[in-house]
Amino acid sequence: MGGEPWGEFAGDGARERRALVRRIEADGVLADPAWRAAFAEVPRHLFVPYFYVSGTSGYERLWAGDPDPARRARWLRGAYADTAVATRVRDGELVSSASQPSLMALMLHALDVRDGDDVLEIGAGTGYHAALLSHRLGEEHVTTVDLDEEIAESARTHLAAAGYRPAVLAADGARGCPERAPYDRIVATCAVPAVPYPWLAQCRPGALVLAPLSTGLILLRVRDGTHAEGRFLETSAYFVALRGVGAYAPGRPGPRHGPAGDERFRFLWGLVAEALDRREALSLWLREGRPERERFGVTVSGDRQWAWLDEPGGPYAWPLPTAG
């Protein structure tokens, strides 16, 4: 944290935090008092000491130590804005970001954690998500991993500054974290092309897995180490792609790169691009009345997994790429 005078922002940060909680509450996803307390008490500005905003000439950096008071105020407002913020940019490309807080709240609500649950997070990011989980469950129940050692160390530093010390490991998230298994919940904050099989093998029966896939969020109930099934949440979701053995294969488009047009079609295209060409996918989409995300699901059975429309054994099913 570079010895920055974080106390300088305590009062303003608390005010911005209260405003953020009110904005998220307006979306109806902070009904659980435990999650409301987490968002109200975890100081998000400690996790984004700097971030980047896109401008006409590239990315502009805002940071806590800027000598200009107006720019420091912009940084603090941005740290508590209900938007995703770019936290790491390399060679002009986004490497890591802090997710939109209201989307985090929706995902945490969908995880349906219970006291005593052990949670594995794939993609440490800034550490803020792990801090919210640690506030709710206790840090001893939280593990977060990131392929990038620098990102993992930064998350660890941010967490410690906020008073949390969950397990933060530099590791390939597609392989999970077997040394701290089994888990009751696995949540990914990076997009995957398919469900990595090691995740299921590290879950207790009945566990939930929540992960961004295409431009949606799939919520799977794990039956055992080789079987899981579930549907997509209704919300859209855009995340930086997972890197490592389970990453998007070379030449295969990530979820942001579907054809132009209706956002629901881009979601479908992200699911079926392995099995259908664009014309077939468009024909299906129109024939089925431009289906919403929650009509789709994913089944994992043994060494196979597939996406489907309406029913796992129905007429519309498409294989997902081989996962790590």
Which tokens go with 91? 């060679």
Paired strand residues for 230: 220, 298
Q: What is the pLDDT of residue 323?
A: 58
Q: What is the pLDDT of residue 170?
A: 97
In the chain, which ranges are E strands? 50-55, 58-63, 85-90, 93-98, 119-122, 142-146, 167-170, 183-188, 203-213, 216-224, 227-232, 296-301, 304-309, 317-319
Is the predicted pLDDT of residue 252 greater than 90, yes or no? Answer: no
Contacts of 49 (CB under 8 A, 6+ apart): 1, 2, 4, 63, 64, 65, 158
Paired strand residues for 61: 52
β pairing state of 183-188 and 227-232: unpaired
Please give the backbone phi and psi of residue 124, each rounded to the nearest 5 degrees, phi first. -70, -30
Nearest to 167 by CA among 145, 183, 199: 145
CA distances from 60 to 48, 87, 253, 269 (A): 14, 11, 28, 33
Looking at domain 112-323, its CATH class is alpha beta
Task: Quickly state the pLDDT bin for 291 (edges 50, 70, 90).
Answer: very high
Is the predicted pLDDT of residue 258 greater than 80, yes or no? Answer: no
Q: Residue 132: enclosing H or E segment and its boundaries?
A: helix 128-137
Please give the backbone phi and psi of residue 81, each rounded to the nearest 5 degrees, phi first. -70, 150
Nearest to 105 by CA among 17, 32, 18: 32
Q: What is the pLDDT of residue 2?
A: 34
In this predicted model, what pLDDT tens digit does every residue of 220-239 receive, in sequence order? 999 999 999 999 999 999 99
Contacts of 260 (CB under 8 A, 6+ apart): none
In this predicted model, what pLDDT tens digit does every residue of 82-98 receive, in sequence order? 999 999 888 777 777 89
In this predicted model, what pLDDT tens digit does every residue of 154-171 receive, in sequence order? 999 999 999 999 999 999
For 47: left if phi > 0, alpha if psi spans -120 to 50, otherwise beta; the answer is alpha
In this predicted model, what pLDDT tens digit does every residue of 33-52 receive, in sequence order? 999 999 999 999 999 999 99
**Distance (Å, whole) CA 214 – CA 237:** 8
Determine if the peptide bond prior to 182 is cis (ω within 30°). Answer: yes
Give the whole-number percent of the chain exceeding pLDDT 70: 91
Q: What is the pLDDT of residue 257?
A: 44
β pairing state of 203-213 and 183-188: parallel
Task: Quickly state the pLDDT bin for 113 (edges 50, 70, 90).
Answer: very high
- Read off the DSSP letter of residue 72: H
Is the predicted pLDDT of residue 304 greater than 60, yes or no? Answer: yes
Q: Active-site residue numbers?
A: 96
Please give the backbone phi and psi of residue 5, each rounded to the nearest 5 degrees, phi first. -75, 80
In this predicted model, what pLDDT tens digit does every residue of 187-229 receive, in sequence order? 999 999 999 999 999 999 999 999 999 999 999 999 999 999 9
**What number of CA atoms fall less than 13 Å from residue 87's CA on the CB side?**
26
* Residue 278 near residue 252 (C-beta atoms within 8 A): no
Task: Quickly state the pLDDT bin for 242 (edges 50, 70, 90).
Answer: confident
**Mean of per-residue pLDDT scores for the chain:** 90
Q: Residue 37: enclosing H or E segment and its boundaries?
A: helix 33-41
Is the predicted pLDDT of residue 280 greater than 90, yes or no? Answer: yes
Is the predicted pLDDT of residue 7 greater than 60, yes or no? Answer: no
Buried b (16+ CB within 10 A) or exposed e, 59-70: eeebebeeeeee
227 SS3 class: strand
> Which residue ranges make up each domain of the chain?
1-99, 112-323
